[in-house]
Structure 1
Amino acid sequence: MNLGIESETLEFKKTTGEVDKAMDNIASMLNKHGHGTLYFGVSPNGEVTGQQISASSLDDVAKKVKEAIKPMIYPEVKREILGGRDVIRVDFSGKEKPYSSFGRYYKRVFDRTEEMTPDELKRMMAETDRSSHWENNLTQYGLDAVDKDSLEEFYKRAVSCGRLEEMAAYNAEELLTGLGLYEQGKLTNAGYYLFSNKKPAVLKLAVYVTDERINFSDIGRIEDNVFNLIRRGFSYIKEHINWRVENGNGTSRVEVPEIPVEAIREIVVNSFAHADYRGISENEIDITPTKVEIYNPGQFPAGLSPEMFARQRIRSMPRNRVILNTLYKSKDVEIFGNGFRKVYALCDKFSIRIEAAFENDGFAFIFYRDTYQEHVTQNVTISVTDHDKEVKIPTEARVYMLLKEDPTQTRESLAEKTGRTVRTIQRALDKLSVAGKIRRIGSNKTGYWEIF
């Protein structure tokens, strides 16, 4: 039996051994026509050769589509018998292009699949409002699903910064409607993720003892709305990075972070504003001795990078235009398309190394911390003096050396000698304890530190 020739919406694969390549074909047809059909068990010339189908074959194909194609689609995968032979038929459709396969974007040229150039992808994004379908779709939730505290806090911030006109009398329904987040008595998807009390978004947090990320000193998983998670993520990083104390004007002393907090905040906001919420997605913040890594579950445009947006002044390509516009009003987003430029400028100014790591389902932005690569497990013998404070020695190493000299020292005395804050010293003590380098003996007042 012969099914004819392949076309712009029809693709043949001889076996499921070609399933990865089949994902590229699916993405190309979605980008060109928004639908298509693909067969496993049919040769490229249309001859039905058959496909061995096990109990898990159909599920394996469906899982591969879920893994590879973004935004997520829901194909119909079924077994058919053609000319007495078993084949697998996959029918698919989608309206939220551009679609990618394993992080890359493809186009259909008659019966061929070709990778898009960066210019072709940019044109497709410019021609397509990537957010309109998903963000503006109505949910099943009404005003009773709104986190009132979050919405009121947003309103106060937006009014105080002058980006939202004050209402004669605060009204949640009127506010949400004006923002395009509420219609026909229902929250839109954008409104649901921004201000719902149903905890629609997830943020995973961890502080690791080593860069290998095996042992951790702190770990958590928070479910909340986007507006709240931005603040909680930003606060978490500020709490777990190092701060040093410097003399300010006159006799005042100021705390200075190892990474500019304005740059951190921009990336945290970006990770939520541009995340892909149309599938299973979780934002993530990982802190190691040498890195702060912020993961965004939204693929970066193929062929582009954050540095290109910063250095070449490429126009912003918002995934979630409504969410971004709302965060702009509360000044979480300062200027459209300016975030990466601000981050790179700040990191250039303070000599902070940064990079982006791209994955199939998203990308991570990495800040390298203001420390050397030495760890407390090394045999450090230098002494700590006022002169040494000008040398960038890891806080844990400095605390470890001071405790070796005098195991009875308190957090306050360690803070004074190192020029760090008490909270930074406490985090260093926690890390040293988890690493097995120190152990507290006795009470906080009369005890001492056992050094290993």
Structure 2
Amino acid sequence: MPETNRIEYKRELNIDVDIEKEVIAFLNYHEGGVIYIGIDKTGNVVGVSDAEGDALKIKDRIKNNISPSAMGLFDVVVEERKGKEIVKITVASGSEKPYFKKKYGMTDKGCFIRVGTAAEPMPQGIIDKLFATRTRNSIGKIRSNRQDLTFEQLRIYYEEKRKPLNGQFKKSLELLTEDGALNYAAYLLADENGVSIKVAKYRGTNRVDLIENNEYGCCSLIKATKSVLDKIELENRTATQITSKERIDQRLWNPVALREAIINSIVHNDFTREVPPKFEIFADRIEITSAGILPEGLSEEEFFEGVSIPRNRELMRVYRDLELVEQLGSGIPRILESYGKECFRFMDNFTRMTFPASEEVIPQSGLVDGLVDGLVDGLVESQRKIVELVKANPKISKKEMSESIGISTTAIDKHIKRLRDKNILKRVGSNRSGYWELQ
């Protein structure tokens, strides 16, 4: 593939390669772009000798040499192409244009823009215009109404990923305003806040008969996100159909697309309006509604193509650190693999995703009678996995289940309670010396 307005190739990272210039050009470009190190101008893969080392150097240069901060707006990963390692730099379009080299400031020596397949100096007139219209009402610039915030939950999540926070984490994670006060991003990530996310469940296809109304929040947004993911994972049960030839298992909603939708709705929610996203489960669908419309300059076509302009880059950076978000711009394409563009609705002030259920959300007949290969129909996928793990090792611990399935121990406890309530699983003996038994 040749170079395009969104793709730049560099044969190697050497003293002549101005990587800051290329990154700045994409930050200032309305579509962002991708830079490959280890591919020549003709598109031939030549590879790099020290991909990991180059990746670390690039991250350091972007972090220290570009202003405003690009943290949360780029990914640097090592990939393999044709048996050779290359470095891929994904850059999102920034919302605080113009971006520039700190050394030269907002001049034509420091500001660049993508023109065709090249990074060109930005005319001073455009620099001045962009600066005058720069987005200032962001969660990173808004002062928190509370300055007595604590972050123990955030510390725990970072320690779980072996990325312990040091004494300067508020500065490094950009949780401070320019004058050193805790900002609104800090408020959202703090142990206590006033933000609560609603997960509601209705018996029918409208909002008349509410049967569940769960609130997750007033805590770190990371903890609230994990609680929402666990709750909807419980709701996303697996239906089983047995034919003469095979057994067919199908979730109510595609789990990959659903997870991406949940994370996207939270990370890209317009929290400056003080309206959190909400999740509503109906008899025939799930609706996910977040505050805010498409970022200025981003068309629906570009949105569906995966062009990313993170609304809350401070949150995006933390969610990526904690591996809740993968590469920039990957969420929407993953959703579209299972659901069409018609599932998205862009309103005047909100964005809504609607995913139809594969069958009725609340089965009228309850659980299907009888066992199928020792399992009860109606279990969600994680519950089936727990049963399989217990069958293989009755003495398995909850921690081992958590690591094997990839969900939290809190979610494991909830699934085990469901299995016990359904008389599928029971504990024999003490927690330390006992074992699990299928009934």
TM-score (norm 2): 0.49
More helix by share: 1
Q: Greater Rg, structure 1 or structure 2?
A: 1
